[in-house]
Amino acid sequence: MSDEDEWLKRFLEEEERLLTKGDELQKLSVIGSLPELLKYDQKGTVSKIIPKIQQELPNSSSEFNLAVSRMFNILIHMDIPVNLVPQILQGIENRDPIIANAWMETLLEVIPVLKEAVVKNEILRCAISKAQLSKPAYYRVSSCRILGKISLHKCMNPFEVKKDVLPLVQSLCQDCFHEVRAAMCKELPGVAQGLYNLGDAIVKVNLLPLLVELSADENVYVRSIAIESVVAIIPYLSPETIKGTIVPLTKKLCTKSAAEGDTTYIAMASVFNMLIANLLPQMTPSDGMWFLDYYNHICKKGQSTIEDVDTDPSVCMMCRENCALCLPVVATMVYAQIPSEISVKFYHTFRALAADPCYIVRKAVASCFADVVRILGHSNKIVIIDFTKLLRDEDEEVLHALIPNIASILESFTYVGVLQRDTIFQATSDICRAMQKCHEDAFKTNDWRMKECSLRQWEFLPNSFPSDFIHQHFSTMVLNAAIHGKAKPVRSQATRTLLIILKYSLKENHRKWIREMIQTQLCNAECCYSRQMYVTLCIHALDIFSWKYFKEYFYLPLLNLSEDPVSIVRLCMVKLCPVLKQMLNFPSDRALQLRLENILSKMEMTECDKDVIMTLKQKLKEMRCMRSVDSEVLVEDRRKADEEEKILKGKWTLVKVMPIGGVKEEKAAMIPSKQNSGKIPTKRLADGTTRRTYYK
């Protein structure tokens, strides 16, 4: 026996001893190490450790049971060669409800990966046993949950579901305890999915009557679950059944939920999104008007001083929040079925939700505002005032939800002509002031991510606002963020946004002012962090501008930082040297090339910081082994240079602004068309992020 085998044997013996004689913490430690033990010695772990765990289970503590239940879930998914199901089934019989529930959750999670024989012989038999009327109610609730999972198992064909599961389902749906009826009702969509391959008729005949009966149940909780199940079962029904049965049934349920004293409207609000999405293909204009009226009704829950006086305000608030999250799908329905109501009934409700006294509702509206604006298309001008109000909202949570969508909203407004890059409208001024207020409020918080996101959204400004207008109202704010922003990501994003404003400025005096501010406030600043931020700005500039532009305005100031008194600034500059050399590939660049070589030679002799020296040697080695510039890089640089020339001539073309670590240009033009109107052209990058398309 090798030393390694001997060590594993002693180790397993020690683990076995701890399970028998160790304290609680030692036992739990052994349980947590099972996956690692299986990697090193699966045979020994299966033959010695797992049987010892099974032996200790019956008389162990709650903590031990909970740990083992979680670990058995992991082990079964690892497909180890041992049957752990008997211990799981034994665990759900435990008298302690916490332990029994933990084992039940484990059973439900492992059922999909169990083999056919185990499911049909052990799990199904357990569900049948627990479904008997002689068993306690909580046993029958467990049976409902197991039956729902069994119906979805890949080994159960629809005939077996109909033969073995459906009779139990029908019996449990008529149980005398409302907890059992509710539990079984919740599993009906899973049963419907299991029966679906037999055709729509089997679902309609066997399950719809159960849902109709449960939707009229005397218990409000059962009725609420029935509403959710009716909506979830729609995908398993034919269009004719949906049109002839489900639409009238859902109208009946909506009417009942709107009755005084009924609280099932909260359940209807929570699934209204899915309901409308599923019914829309079979919906008529009159149906659309009916559901819009009902939606308008539940959106007002808790707002009336007479109605709902006995209802919990938090329940009404949750209802309105769910309604707010449904705005995009309701807008789609109205736009498709009753477009004449967009500016009347729909907007009236939209405005009320956007101005709701509860910030949670306004936050929900803010999170889906961009989708609503895109869906409304040419009618989106009606929500401009609501957009500006949300931008001015005093609650940080609302701004947190709205700010990431600002660029999308501006793009939608621009596409339909509400905003234009060559004309100032009243909407331009209103949105500008609101964005400035939003920016100021964001910078009063301690959330640096929100500040960075706000500045990132401003990258889209050249698409929507005139150049002079941007320079007058936004340039100074962005510059201040780049100089005084506390968090480094905020300052970095501010420099990028400032460069984009610089690129799209049409007047030379505006461009000159920005370049001078960059030179004096960053490159030549007294604060070393600002000078370091100039290096970050140059990294962004390499992505945004052509090499010609970079060499004209950024190259020499960047090289001058090689003599900076602070080593971290010199270090940041040295890291860019390979890129600086790469762009010097024309005869006219000879002077810059000599300047770069002289600076690097001087640094080799005079540099005293060890980190800078080590990085300098590494970069010099890279520069000596550097290959010629790829043709694709030269093509991309030529494209940027052409765009800059067109900007100087006042010609607008489609361009893209790439992030750090430039990515290959897409070949396909991304000009919005009627087919993708309202969508913001974006590109997925290597790091998983996206960048928007900009227009010039």
Q: What are the residues whose beta carbons fall under 8 Å from the beta carbon of 302, sequence distance 6 or more?
A: 308, 311, 313, 315, 316, 317, 319, 320
Give me the percent of the chain exceeding a pLDDT of 90: 71
Whole-number pLDDT of residue 664 = 31
HSE on the CB side for 654, CA within 13 Å? 13
Count Cβ atoms below 10 Å from residue 551 Cβ, excluding itself: 18
| SS3 at position 195 | helix
Per residue in 512-571, pLDDT (tens digit) is: 999 999 999 999 999 999 999 999 999 999 999 999 999 999 999 999 999 999 999 999
Select from 84, 71, 68 the least CA-distant residue to 35.
71
Task: At 599, give phi and psi (nearest 5°).
Answer: -65, -45
Whole-number pLDDT of residue 675 = 34
Q: How does the average pLDDT of the chain come out, rounded?
A: 88
pTM: 0.83
Say whether pLDDT at 583 is over 60.
Answer: yes
Beta strands 682-684 and 690-695: pairing type? antiparallel
Say whether pLDDT at 262 is over 90.
Answer: no
HSE on the CB side for 527, CA within 13 Å? 11
Per residue in 590-624, pLDDT (tens digit) is: 999 999 999 999 999 998 999 999 999 999 999 98
Say whether pLDDT at 310 is over 60.
Answer: no
Give the separation between CA 130 and CA 652, rounded to whole angstroms.
72
The predicted model gives 570-597 an average pLDDT of 91
Whole-number pLDDT of residue 303 = 80
The predicted model gives 432-451 an average pLDDT of 95
Each as own residue / partner, the long-range contacts of residues 119-124 (CB below 8 Å, 24 or more positions apart, any chain) are 119/150, 119/153, 119/155, 119/156, 120/155, 120/156, 120/160, 122/85, 122/86, 122/89, 123/85, 123/150, 124/150, 124/164, 124/165
Is the pLDDT higher at 575 or at 672? 575
Select from 508, 577, 584 the least CA-distant residue to 538.
577
Contact 143, 131 (CB under 8 A): yes
Say whether pLDDT at 428 is over 50.
Answer: yes
Contact 656, 636 (CB under 8 A): no
Say whether pLDDT at 674 is over 50.
Answer: no
Whole-number pLDDT of residue 665 = 31
Confidence of residue 85 (pLDDT cuts 50, 70, 90): very high
Whole-number pLDDT of residue 501 = 95
Count Cβ atoms below 10 Å from residue 21 Cβ, excluding itself: 9
The predicted model gives 650-665 an average pLDDT of 42
Give the separation between CA 277 and CA 290, rounded to whole angstroms.
15
The predicted model gives 399-425 an average pLDDT of 93
Whole-number pLDDT of residue 4 = 67
Confidence of residue 661 (pLDDT cuts 50, 70, 90): very low
Residue 693 β-bridge partners? 656
Residue 654 β-bridge partners? 695
Domain residue spans of the chain: 238-348, 477-631, 644-695
Per residue in 125-182, pLDDT (tens digit) is: 999 999 999 899 999 999 999 999 999 998 988 899 999 999 999 999 999 999 999 9
Helices (H) and strands (E) counted in the chain, each on its own, are: 44, 3
Say whether pLDDT at 28 is over 60.
Answer: yes
Is the pLDDT higher at 66 or at 23? 66
Per residue in 316-350, pLDDT (tens digit) is: 999 999 999 999 999 999 999 999 999 999 999 99
Residue 656 β-bridge partners? 693
Give the separation between CA 420 and CA 336, rounded to whole angstroms.
27
Contact 350, 323 (CB under 8 A): no
Confidence of residue 304 (pLDDT cuts 50, 70, 90): low
Give the separation between CA 502 and CA 506, rounded to whole angstroms.
9
Contact 412, 380 (CB under 8 A): yes
Say whether pLDDT at 678 is over 50.
Answer: no
Look at 10-14, 276-280, 626-630, 654-658 and tell me which has the smallest mean pLDDT: 654-658
What does the block give as tokens for 299? 């959106």
* Superfamily (CATH) of domain 477-631: Leucine-rich Repeat Variant (1.25.10.10)
